Chains A and B, each alone.
Chain A
């Protein structure tokens, strides 16, 4: 069954590579195709080298890793909460990150500290939700979801407060962060490392996840130590999301829709669903970011604007065709 789907997975991997090449090729400055091959073989003018190797390549890689992290985190959350509407941010993680990041921007510190604050805020929110939901010892998916949603609303109110009370010239920076923007993505090494390690960690656990997705009682009856697995999923999803948010702000939509999209194409087996989600999420974000860079060039859009615009029609089309 899994093996039957491998050709499709290979096709998805090819699409991912193609999209990344496209991301290298396109930008607000038009470069001839030869310049790419020249730069990649170690030649080319200094300007072309800077554009492709220093600006576009890290950004494309960061976009791919972020999309992959978000898609896996979304798939995990949907298993954990057994709720199709779950996404990486449903438990308030991005809200915590956003409040911390906006406070850092208000304090006037540099890009590095804004990212660090976002990571800290995401972890803080995770522990807060975890403590509140599991603290009393009794925990269920519903209780966790409810706690997360309420905490997220609290963060939302704080975000609105910060936006309403800040100065005019600080608003664009804040809004771009909230909509998700990759123009200041740090080095893509850490996101890629986490993406690969977590995938390698999760695939052997695929069967357990498959059972858990059918319900906690059934999983327990089949010998899964539900609480332990749930804790691990929660921890991993939180880590993935925290890193994604640190790289690019809170990019919506990818984590919610890509796992659903992949279920329509690949079915419900987590062993193939998770790598497929990573590839598709990464490709979607690279494509969206490339468009964000060129649609109104030299002016730039935040990538979050494009992700939904691209993903919604694709999703609706697949939903419609699956129903027929």
Chain B
């Protein structure tokens, strides 16, 4: 009695095992995409992504740049470039995701911003079985790398390659033209209240050196440190430049003018850089860098 039952069950068991094994093996064999993200984690996708969630405005912008904007089903607030990005349904802010709304969109891939998105929420999403690709572009090389990676994830390799090449060639051209010119000492102001600048690891600082500029605060430890006005005066940079809150020339640029001992003030080398062109690691950053190079060249030709 016991034995007969056992013999009936055995083939079923074997079948189940085999099925389970093949279910495990199947995506390995047929994975369309196998890719390592910026955190070193290997991601496998059975097919290229068709319903994507972008968890940062820069990711949205980069996806549009490689012609994959139409594959985004959900994005975070302030995904405002290009114009078409504003039509994408919102799933919260970069630092506070609407998990329900996100899951309801049935995405097949989430592209996350490693240092910006909340870790706990991403772990919960990963627990729900949604694949997550992490990006953390912090250099020119990383921007073109991200464009190519997004191309592989979406199957738009050709367009991504073109966008990445255009970015790289643009950067090379600027480098060839300006990097060997006379070095210009620059104070780059990110914010007025409190007074903030950026250190040498920041993308903008890389843009400065591409243009032959020298960031006077490159050696500080923090990426975007709060600093004292005194030190700027003591360092006496040749150029003061930066963005600010809006797209108009900000009042703080004017407020430096009362410090007449500054070389930048005496020689009128205070320059406004439109923040929208330099605040995200995307192809638009190249336009921002061009403006920086132009301003530094104007400073050299003074």
**B226 with A176: CB separation less than 8 A:** yes
**B227 with A299: CB separation less than 8 A:** yes
**A299 with B193: CB separation less than 8 A:** no
**B220 with A298: CB separation less than 8 A:** yes
Kindly name the residue among A29, A169, A172, A299 whose own CB sees the greatest number of chain B CB atoms within 10 A.
A299
A181 to B194, CA, bound (A): 8
**A168 with B226: CB separation less than 8 A:** no
Q: For A172, what are the chain B residues with a Cβ–Cβ distance below 8 Å?
A: 191, 194, 196, 224, 226
Taking CB atoms and an 8 Å cut-off, the chain A residues in 170-228 that contact chain B are: 170, 172-173, 176-177, 181, 183-184
A167 to B76, CA, bound (A): 11
A interface with B by C-beta (< 8 Å): 27-29, 46-47, 50-51, 54-56, 105, 108, 110-111, 114, 164-165, 167-170, 172-173, 176-177, 181, 183-184, 293, 297-302
Q: Which one, A46, A108, A183, contacts B245 given CB within 8 A?
A: A108
Question: Is B67 interfacial (CB-CB < 8 Å)?
Answer: no
**A29 with B226: CB separation less than 8 A:** no
Question: Is B297 interfacial (CB-CB < 8 Å)?
Answer: no
Question: Given that A28-B230, A298-B231, A299-B227 are contacting pairs, would A168 and B95 also be in contact in the complex, using a CB cutoff of 8 Å?
Answer: yes
**A297 with B231: CB separation less than 8 A:** yes
Question: Is B261 interfacial (CB-CB < 8 Å)?
Answer: yes
Q: For B260, what are the chain A residues with a Cβ–Cβ distance below 8 Å?
A: 46
Question: Given that A176-B194, A181-B194, A299-B222 are contacting pairs, would A29 and B259 also be in contact in the complex, using a CB cutoff of 8 Å?
Answer: no
Q: For A50, what are the chain B residues with a Cβ–Cβ distance below 8 Å?
A: 233, 259, 261
Taking CB atoms and an 8 Å cut-off, the chain B residues in 221-239 that contact chain A are: 222, 224-231, 233-234, 236
Q: For B159, what are the chain A residues with a Cβ–Cβ distance below 8 Å?
A: none
Q: Which one, A114, A177, A300, contacts B227 given CB within 8 A?
A: A300
Nearest-neighbor residue (CB-CB) of A108 within chain B:
B245
CB distance from A165 to the nearest CB of B (A): 7
B interface with A by C-beta (< 8 Å): 78, 93-96, 116, 190-196, 217, 220, 222, 224-231, 233-234, 236, 245-246, 250-252, 258-261, 279
Q: Which one, B96, B230, B246, contacts A108 given CB within 8 A?
A: B246
Nearest-neighbor residue (CB-CB) of A301 within chain B:
B226
Question: Given that A50-B233, A50-B259, A51-B234 are contacting pairs, would A293 and B192 also be in contact in the complex, using a CB cutoff of 8 Å?
Answer: no
CB distance from B247 to the nearest CB of A (A): 10
Q: For B245, what are the chain A residues with a Cβ–Cβ distance below 8 Å?
A: 108, 170
**A184 with B228: CB separation less than 8 A:** no
Nearest-neighbor residue (CB-CB) of B261 within chain A:
A46
13 A/B residue pairs, CB under 8 Å, sorted by A? A47-B233, A51-B233, A51-B234, A55-B230, A111-B251, A114-B193, A164-B96, A172-B194, A181-B193, A183-B195, A184-B193, A297-B228, A301-B226
**B193 with A111: CB separation less than 8 A:** yes
**B227 with A298: CB separation less than 8 A:** yes
A176 to B225, CA, bound (A): 13
**A55 with B196: CB separation less than 8 A:** no
**A183 with B193: CB separation less than 8 A:** yes
**B258 with A176: CB separation less than 8 A:** no
Question: Given that A183-B194, A299-B220 are contacting pairs, would A110 and B251 also be in contact in the complex, using a CB cutoff of 8 Å?
Answer: yes
A177 to B192, CA, bound (A): 12
A184 to B252, CA, bound (A): 11
A184 to B230, CA, bound (A): 13
**B193 with A28: CB separation less than 8 A:** no
CB distance from B195 to the nearest CB of A (A): 6
A213 to B226, CA, bound (A): 44
Q: For B193, what are the chain A residues with a Cβ–Cβ distance below 8 Å?
A: 105, 111, 114, 173, 176-177, 181, 183-184
Q: For B94, what are the chain A residues with a Cβ–Cβ distance below 8 Å?
A: 168
CB distance from A46 to the nearest CB of B (A): 4
Kindly name the residue among B228, B231, B251 whose own CB sees the greatest number of chain A CB atoms within 10 A.
B228
**A169 with B279: CB separation less than 8 A:** yes
**B116 with A168: CB separation less than 8 A:** yes
CB distance from B275 to the nearest CB of A (A): 8
Kindly name the residue among B93, B190, B234, B259 whose own CB sees the greatest number of chain A CB atoms within 10 A.
B234
Q: For A46, what are the chain B residues with a Cβ–Cβ distance below 8 Å?
A: 260-261
Q: For A173, what are the chain B residues with a Cβ–Cβ distance below 8 Å?
A: 191, 193-194
Q: For B226, what are the chain A residues with a Cβ–Cβ distance below 8 Å?
A: 172, 176, 299-301
